[in-house]
């Protein structure tokens, strides 16, 4: 759902429920899901209003501070690391995150796990022909 239903619709639904109609009948008449009318009625009983709650908002970064420094040092280090390896390392350091979160973090930091084809060719040239 992109946005909350209007207050007019919510208040109309609650007026009809208050007059004795069932939530399912009101939902069918107003062309909304029965679960919406049921939740509006519960909210009205609980808070006294059918006003919608807050939607969305900013979520703080999980990988910050010393964890950020550690991940970036591991990425810039000479060893090959994987997202799973970084996730286990962060968990050992007290921060449980999914590898996808690490991927999004690295993307925001401008880092990439893509293989560099030019670097791969240079390593092959140094190693000589396969035996």
DSSP characters over 50-69: ------------SS-THHHH
Whether 1 maps to a domain, the answer reads no
Whether 54 maps to a domain, the answer reads no
Do 71 and 109 lie in one domain? The reply is: yes
Do 79 and 43 lie in one domain? The reply is: no
Which of 21, 47, 51 lies closest to 34, judged by CA? Answer: 21
Exposed (0-12), middle (13-18) or buried (19+): which is 86, by Cβ within 10 Å? buried
Do 75 and 31 lie in one domain? The reply is: no
Q: In this model, does residue 130 exceed pLDDT 50?
A: no
Q: In this model, does residue 115 exceed pLDDT 70?
A: no
Q: How many domains does the chain have?
A: 2
Q: What is the mean pLDDT of the chain?
A: 85
Whether 23 maps to a domain, the answer reads yes
Rounded Cα distance between 70 and 68, Å, is 5
Do 75 and 120 lie in one domain? The reply is: yes
Rounded Cα distance between 63 and 95, Å, is 8
pLDDT for the residue 128:
47
Whether 58 maps to a domain, the answer reads no
Whether 95 maps to a domain, the answer reads yes
Whether 56 maps to a domain, the answer reads no
Quick: pLDDT tens for 68-101. 999 999 988 888 889 999 999 999 999 999 999 9
More confident residue, 127 or 102: 102
Unique residue bearing structure tokens 């910050």: 64
Q: Which domain holds residue 19?
A: 7-47
pTM value?
0.49
């Amino acid at each position: 759902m992109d946005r909350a239903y209007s207050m007019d619709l919510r208040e109309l639904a609650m007026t009809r429920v208050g007059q004795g109609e069932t939530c399912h009948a009101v939902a069918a008449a107003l062309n909304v899901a029965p679960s919406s009318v049921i939740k509006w009625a519960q909210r009205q009983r609980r808070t006294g209003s059918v006003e919608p709650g807050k939607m969305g908002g900013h979520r703080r970064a999980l990988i910050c501070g010393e964890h950020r420094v550690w991940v970036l040092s591991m990425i810039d280090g000479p060893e090959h690391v994987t997202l799973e390896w970084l996730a286990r390392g962060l968990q050992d350091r007290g921060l449980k995150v999914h590898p996808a979160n690490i991927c999004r973090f690295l993307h925001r930091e401008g880092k990439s796990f893509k293989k560099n084809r030019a670097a791969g060719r240079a390593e092959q040239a140094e190693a000589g022909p396969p035996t």
